[in-house]
């Protein structure tokens, strides 16, 4: 495996796909392998020809002439318009300069998972990347480096895709290998266009094909570069979506992030019904205030990014004479983006829910504040919340539902990557890509938690003095578009390097109480 990480210091990537005209407003995203290898060849001729043997460069380029995988960062599309003077005519022509806008701190990863470089080839590639100043047009400043990290890809060849995400198809221009080129050339010389056959005879190798100037190819009449092929890839359909930042007035800068309720009913629901209770609370709040913190969507109905909206977390805590039958005793609504005036008014009005058999559920707002205002491990009798406490070791309280599928190599072996986390049931220093453990680590990292030291599985949680297994929990919502890979629930015990503050809720349905953790007793 060999990978390259690109960072765009100017926050822009300018490039037009081969089969598009600049004024069509299309941006080449991701950067095509054809463009990447031609950029490396250009660096060789301009900056390294006198010091590096061409044989070594050709060997490197041939190995990179394969179909890679990509990890695309969040991006949006922008453009500028300007008038370019036309040579020898005396007037100007309107040009659209379309680009992908990318965070200056984000990286785009390209990984050739089946490519192994020699030590000399790896050293050469590192030197080339160090001398790469731009990718695409000259205003696309870039910093590039070799990477041995194999991130979870989100843009792969269609033939290798087996997920169920919301994706779209794109055509990606990929160079042929030397052997593939020779076979293609032989076939083309037998049946191709006469004019192009004449020029193709001078292209003796794939290296020659990669070195031909684009303007010359178009002048000859090539609609596609000789030695290239179009491969269908899938990429996230929302890869260019913009998530607007929510703005608050100065008076609302300090907004509470926790609203905590006590729950009462003649027939209180058990914790196994947490998803159902959260669904009812969610509908009640949205009916009172259709705002992003409750809907999870922006004003254009697009899902918010970053898990900043409300988590509705049910608790079954022993204390105050409750929780002895595994019933829900409290509900904590946690929103990192905070509750403004509209949200607080809706939360104040949340006083009851319908219950099964006519036994309605009463909700009493205890207060609003921050997690540290309500968190406590040994203070349940005073109404403190374990899920908001500070702890180094955490255990599943409700089942974790994965969002990824385990990955396997073409030989059927589990696809493994390195990790410093000690994972029960996995080889030392490794984790299977797409496994529940991998998914858990990925989401914890996205939510800002430190990388755990250890992870082990648990098969249930203690409710009413007995172990309640994950299959006894309701594990799906009636509606919603949440992404999950299975109906199976998993439990884990997580050891962090230092105490962390809850709540910790991850995976499918986390905003409705699934994947919830409590401090280990």
The three-state DSSP-derived secondary structure of 449-471 is: CCCCCEEEEECEEEECCEEEEHH
Does the residue 494 lie in any domain?
yes
On whether the CB atoms of residues 285 and 271 are closer than 8 A, the answer is no
- Return d(Cα 295, Cα 276) in angstroms, integer: 17
Verify that 431 and 474 share a domain, yes or no.
yes
Helices (H), 84-205: 119-130, 178-191, 194-200
Q: Tell me the HSE value of 18 on the side-chain side, using a 13 A CA sphere.
A: 24
Flag whether 489 is in a domain.
yes
Give CA–CA dist 380/371, Å, rounded: 15
CA atoms within 13 Å, Cβ hemisphere of 102: 25
Residue 150 lies in a domain: yes
Beta strands in 374-490 (DSSP E): 390-396, 416-418, 422-423, 430-432, 454-458, 460-463, 466-469
> Hey, is 56 helix, strand or coil?
helix
Distance CA 51, CA 297 (A): 56
Based on the fold, state whether residues 69 and 170 are members of the same structural domain: yes
**3-class DSSP state of 401:** coil
Do 384 and 435 belong to one domain? no
State the virtual CA torsion across 505, 506, 511, 515 in degrees, nearest 10: -70
Instruction: Classify 311 in phi/psi space as left (phi over 0), alpha (psi -120 to 50) or beta.
Output: beta
**Could you tell me whether strands 454-458 and 422-423 are parallel, antiparallel, or unpaired per DSSP bridges?**
parallel
How many structural domains are present in the chain?
3
Other beta carbons less than 10 A from residue 240's beta carbon: 17
| Of 333, 357, 388, the domain-final residue | 388
- Between helix 119-130 and helix 54-64 the angle, nearest 10°, is 90
In a domain? residue 140: yes
Is the preceding peptide bond at 30 cis, omega within 30 degrees of 0?
Answer: yes
Q: Is residue 308 part of a domain?
A: yes
Q: Let me know whether 139 and 13 are in one domain.
A: yes
Does residue 375 share a domain with residue 465? Answer: no
Whether residue 394 sits in one domain with residue 383: no
Last residue of one domain, picked from the residues 332, 367, 388: 388
Domain span holding position 141 = 2-176+227-236
Residues 17 and 119 occupy one common structural domain:
yes
> 418: number of CA atoms within 13 Å, CB side?
5
Residues 91 and 71 in one domain: yes
Burial of 265 (0-12, 13-18, 19+ CB in 10 A): middle
pLDDT at residue number 479: 67
Q: Residue 468: inside a domain, yes or no?
A: yes
Residue at 170 is within a domain = yes
Most distant CA atoms of the chain, gap in Å: 91
CATH of the domain at 322: 3.30.70
| Residue pair 378/326 in contact by the 8 Å Cβ criterion | no
My answer on whether 33 and 85 are in the same domain is: yes
CA distances from 174 to 34, 68, 167, 409 (A): 5, 9, 20, 22
Model's pTM, two decimal places? 0.58
Q: Give the C-alpha separation, 341 to 332, whole Å.
A: 18
What is the model's pLDDT at position 201?
A: 72
**Do both 29 and 167 map to the same domain?**
yes
Task: State phi, psi for 165 to the nearest 5 degrees.
Answer: -75, 170
pLDDT at 242: 65
Find all residues with CB under 8 Å of 41, minimum gap 6, and list them: 57, 61, 207, 210, 211
Same domain? 132 vs 36: yes
Q: Is 16 part of any domain? A: yes
Measured distance CA(115)–CA(146) in Å, rounded: 13
- The rounded Cα 118 to chain-centroid distance in angstroms is 31
**Residue 117: predicted pLDDT:** 95
Which of 315, 461, 467 is CA-nearest to residue 395?
A: 461
HSE of 129, CA atoms in CB hemisphere, 13 A: 19
Indicate the SS3 state at residue 22: helix
Instruction: Examine the domain organization and report whether 55 and 171 are in the same domain.
Output: yes
Q: Say how many CA atoms lie within 13 Å of 53 toward its Cβ.
A: 5
User: Domain end: 354, 388, 422, which one?
Assistant: 388
- How many Cβ atoms are within 10 Å of 46's Cβ, its own excluded? 9
- pLDDT tens string, the chain, 521 residues long: the values are 899 999 999 899 999 888 776 666 689 999 999 999 999 999 999 999 988 999 999 999 999 999 999 999 999 887 666 556 665 555 665 566 688 999 888 899 999 998 999 999 999 999 999 999 999 988 889 999 999 888 889 999 999 888 777 889 999 999 999 999 999 888 888 776 666 676 677 788 999 999 988 888 877 777 789 899 999 999 998 888 765 555 555 455 578 999 999 988 888 899 999 999 999 999 999 999 999 999 988 887 888 888 899 999 999 987 544 556 889 999 999 999 999 999 999 999 999 898 777 778 999 998 899 999 888 876 444 568 999 999 999 999 999 999 999 998 888 899 999 999 999 999 999 999 999 999 999 999 989 899 999 999 999 999 878 899 999 999 988 766 667 888 899 999 999 999 999 999 999 999 999 999 999 97
Query: Which SS3 state, helix, strand or coil, does residue 357 take?
Result: helix
CB 517 within 8 A of CB 493: no
Measured CA to CA in angstroms, residue 225 lies from 66, 68, 194, 468 at distances of 16, 19, 16, 62
384 touches 394 (CB < 8 A): no
């Amino acid at each position: 495996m060999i990978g390259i990480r690109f960072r765009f210091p100017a926050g822009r990537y300018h490039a037009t796909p081969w089969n598009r005209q600049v004024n069509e407003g299309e941006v080449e995203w991701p950067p095509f392998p054809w463009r990447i290898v031609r950029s490396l060849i250009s660096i060789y001729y301009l900056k390294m020809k006198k010091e590096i043997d061409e044989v070594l460069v050709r060997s490197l380029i041939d190995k990179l002439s394969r179909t890679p995988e990509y990890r695309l960062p969040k991006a949006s599309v922008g453009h500028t318009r300007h008038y370019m003077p036309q040579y020898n005519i005396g007037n100007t022509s309107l040009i659209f300069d379309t680009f992908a806008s990318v965070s200056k701190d984000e990286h785009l990863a390209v990984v050739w998972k089946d490519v192994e470089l020699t030590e000399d080839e790896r050293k050469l590639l590192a030197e080339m990347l160090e001398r790469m100043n731009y990718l695409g047009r000259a205003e696309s400043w870039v910093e590039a480096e070799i990477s041995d990290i194999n991130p979870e890809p989100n843009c792969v060849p269609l033939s290798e895709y087996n997920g169920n995400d919301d994706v779209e198809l794109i055509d990606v221009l990929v160079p042929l290998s030397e052997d593939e080129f020779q076979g293609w050339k032989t076939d083309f010389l037998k049946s191709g266009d006469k004019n192009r056959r004449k020029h193709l005879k001078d292209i003796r190798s794939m290296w020659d094909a990669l070195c031909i100037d684009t303007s010359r190819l178009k002048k000859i009449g090539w609609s596609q570069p000789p030695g290239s092929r179009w491969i269908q890839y899938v990429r996230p359909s929302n890869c260019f979506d913009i998530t607007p930042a929510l703005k608050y007035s100065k008076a609302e800068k300090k907004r509470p992030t926790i609203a905590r309720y006590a729950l009462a009913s003649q027939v209180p629901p058990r914790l196994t019904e947490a998803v159902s209770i959260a669904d009812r609370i969610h509908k009640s709040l949205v009916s009172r205030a259709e705002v992003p913190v409750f809907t999870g969507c922006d004003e254009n109905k697009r899902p918010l990014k970053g898990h900043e909206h409300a988590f509705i977390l049910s608790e079954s805590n022993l204390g105050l004479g409750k929780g002895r039958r595994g019933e829900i005793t409290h509900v904590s609504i946690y929103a990192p983006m905070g509750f403004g005036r509209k949200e607080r008014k809706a939360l104040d009005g949340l006083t009851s829910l319908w219950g099964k058999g006519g036994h309605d559920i009463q909700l009493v707002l205890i207060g609003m504040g921050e997690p540290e205002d309500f968190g406590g491990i040994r203070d349940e009798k005073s109404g403190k919340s374990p899920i908001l406490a500070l702890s180094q070791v955490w255990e599943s309280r409700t089942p974790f539902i994965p969002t990824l599928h385990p990955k396997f190599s073409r030989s059927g072996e589990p696809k493994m990557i390195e990790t410093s986390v000690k994972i029960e049931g996995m080889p030392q220093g490794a984790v299977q890509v797409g496994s529940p453990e991998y998914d858990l680590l990925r989401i914890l990292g996205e939510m800002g938690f430190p990388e755990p030291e250890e992870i082990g599985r648990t098969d249930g949680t203690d409710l009413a003095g007995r172990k309640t297994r994950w299959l006894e929990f309701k594990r799906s919502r009636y509606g919603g578009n949440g992404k999950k890979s299975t109906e199976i629930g998993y439990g884990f015990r997580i050891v962090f390097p230092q105490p962390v503050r809850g709540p910790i809720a991850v995976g499918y349905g986390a905003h409705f109480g699934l994947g919830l953790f409590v401090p280990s007793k």
